[in-house]
Structure 1
């Protein structure tokens, strides 16, 4: 099997100082033109789960309260997966192109998590007007904005 190498472009800072994306100096020029986007897609590395022992786990015991008793890992958003890659859509609060720092309100990544890529969120390519989801999660919010006020603690079994 072919192996692929990923090069982090920076880190996700997620601590008491807030949520920031801090790019490595050599990647700062790639931010040119990003200022007009309200949202971004972030590709990041579940670095705490990169160990080989996690990469062979292919199912999960009911991670969500109303879900089936056992689920394939690809039907979850678990950090435990064959390739610990995460994708998050985030709102942009501010961009400092000179310093290579973007401020975001929230992300479920740990502090110092490797940031792999940034892509602009564009509704014409990324938005699905009427997505279909299983009945066990049909009551979840319909948007990122609605998710902010949703009690997610009532949904997970961990």
Structure 2
């Protein structure tokens, strides 16, 4: 059976605010440094954070929208063996810890960010247990 490539369209649920403007500023992994950031949700997705509490771990799925999408090798290895944001589909996952959720639930303050300021957020997921 031959599988045809399928195209998907994703709609970001919000953006992330961080202190990083370029790759020289950002840590290689969010867990390396305890840098704070904020996920700012679009109004339609606010009900999705119901029950989220400070101290909860959260996987932030985001798009490295400024990454090079033509890269297939990174640091002498195939890009699929790395967590590099430079890849054909620059979908990234960063494990963060929730610091606070705003009263209107549109802003989720997190620690452990490694994404650029303004990066689109595709999803927030509780980590596998």
Runs of 4+ in 1 over 4 A off after TM superposition: none
Which of 68, 72, 79 is the equivalent residue of 1:58? 72
Higher relative helix content: 1
Q: For 1:78-111, what per-residue CA distance to the aligned partner results, in whole angstroms no more than 9, with x for missing partners? A: 1111110000110111112524111112311000
Please state if 1:6 is matched with 2:24. Answer: no
Q: CA RMSD in A?
A: 1.8
Q: Which runs of no fewer than 5 residues in structure 1 stay unpaired?
A: 63-69, 125-158
1:33 aligns with 51
Q: How many residues align?
A: 110
Q: CA deviation at 1:37?
A: 5.8
Q: For 1:132-157, what per-residue CA distance to the aligned partner results, in whole angstroms no more than 9, with x for missing partners? A: xxxxxxxxxxxxxxxxxxxxxxxxxx
CA contact (8 A) 2:95 2:112 kept: no
2:29 aligns with none
Q: CA deviation at 1:55?
A: 2.6
1:90 aligns with 96
The whole-number CA distance in structure 2 between the counterparts of 1:8 and 1:37 is 24
The TM-score with structure 2 as length reference comes to 0.77
1:117 aligns with 123
The TM-score with structure 1 as length reference comes to 0.64
SS across alignment from 2:37: strand
The whole-number CA distance in structure 2 between the counterparts of 1:113 and 1:11 is 6
